[in-house]
A and B are shown apart, each in its own frame.
Chain A
Amino acid sequence: MVDQPYSTVLQQREAATMGMFVFLGTEIMLFGGMFAVALGLRLTHPREFVDSSMQLHVWIGAINTAVLLTSSAAVALAVHAVRARQFRATSVLFVIAAVLGVVFLGIKAFEYATEYREGLLLPPVGVQRLFMDLYLVSTGLHALHVTVGAGLLAAVAAFAPQRATLVENTGLFWHLVDAIWVFLYPVLYLAR
């Protein structure tokens, strides 16, 4: 199915992929602002930054990283399936990935609640407050992206698992959300 103004399916697909990567570039720059803040904070207050980082729950973050990496693998298999015209498998794999996204959000909510109980989420003024504010804003923005991504995966699984370009581009978004977490995790949790 070729739409205007494209002359071939391949050309249309290439334009869609390129447009998606341009959008993902804006997402990288959006989170790039957060990473720049983290870098500035760490260079200005190296010791306090590490102390604040050590208060976070390394293992909860590690489990969540594994959950996202696994859901990304499911999406990669789904893209593989749609290319083989196995639409049923595409649907199932997208649903698995979306469920893992919801699991990620559940674990994250449990983590926020634990930190709140420990009085860690909103500490008094100081560098730790700056760190925790950055933590809350950056992981919150990421959680928003996981929510949108899981919704998209579920919608594509339900209504359009046979539309290969849509499946691929939804997959690209999900992989980028995963890749951003891969950097957020060491920046926030593993500063030593």
Chain B
Amino acid sequence: MEQARKRLATVWLALLALLALTVAGSFTVTGAASAVVSFGVAAAKVALIFWFFMQLRTEKGLIRVFAVGAIAWLAILLTLVTIDKVTR
């Protein structure tokens, strides 16, 4: 009980630390490295939100598949946009 609350508080602190990291990164790196830092940090934050806050860690496999299914479709959309733009 108490442990679960501590875990959520730790995740919250980790999210704020990642926010600080991404803001710091925006002042220090540019170009491709900046994109890697900002999207890497965003992906890490969303992973923490899905896993701990949205409780996927205690859900069964099928629910997890439904939770991240849209990300696969989104990946197709973004990949095709990229291919179209860079090969034109």
Q: Which A residues are CB-close (under 8 A) to B4? A: 80
A72 within 8 A of B: yes
| A-contacting residues, B35-76, CB 8 Å | 35, 38-39, 41-42, 45-46, 49-50, 52-55, 59-60, 62-63, 66-67, 69-71, 73-74
> How far is it, in angstroms, between the C-alpha of A191 and the C-alpha of B34 when the chains are bound?
7
A103 within 8 A of B: no
Complex contact A69–B19 (CB within 8 A): yes
Complex contact A186–B9 (CB within 8 A): no
Complex contact A186–B53 (CB within 8 A): no
Which residue of the partner chain A has the closest CB to B76?
A: A32
Q: Which A residues are CB-close (under 8 A) to B38? A: 186, 190-191
Name A179's contact: one of B41, B50, B81 (CB within 8 Å). Answer: B50
Q: How large is the interface on A (under 10, 10 to 19, 20 to 34, 35 or more residues)?
A: 35 or more
> How far is it, in angstroms, between the C-alpha of A3 and the C-alpha of B72 when the chains are bound?
33
Q: Which A residues are CB-close (under 8 A) to B12? A: 69-70, 73
Complex contact B85–A43 (CB within 8 A): yes
Complex contact B52–A76 (CB within 8 A): yes
Name A190's contact: one of B26, B60, B81, B82 (CB within 8 Å). Answer: B26
> How far is it, in angstroms, between the C-alpha of A1 and the C-alpha of B11 when the chains are bound?
33
Q: Which B residues are CB-close (under 8 A) to A25? A: 66, 69-70, 73
A109 within 8 A of B: no
Complex contact B41–A186 (CB within 8 A): yes
Complex contact A192–B34 (CB within 8 A): yes
Complex contact A73–B8 (CB within 8 A): yes
Q: Which B residues are CB-close (under 8 A) to A80? A: 4-5, 8
| B-contacting residues, A19-39, CB 8 Å | 21-22, 24-26, 28-29, 32, 35-36, 39
A137 within 8 A of B: no
Q: Which A residues are CB-close (under 8 A) to B26? A: 58, 186, 189-190, 192
- A selection of 17 A-B contacts at a CB cut-off of 8 Å is A18-B63, A18-B66, A24-B67, A25-B69, A32-B78, A39-B82, A43-B85, A58-B26, A59-B23, A76-B53, A172-B54, A175-B54, A185-B22, A190-B23, A190-B25, A190-B34, A192-B34
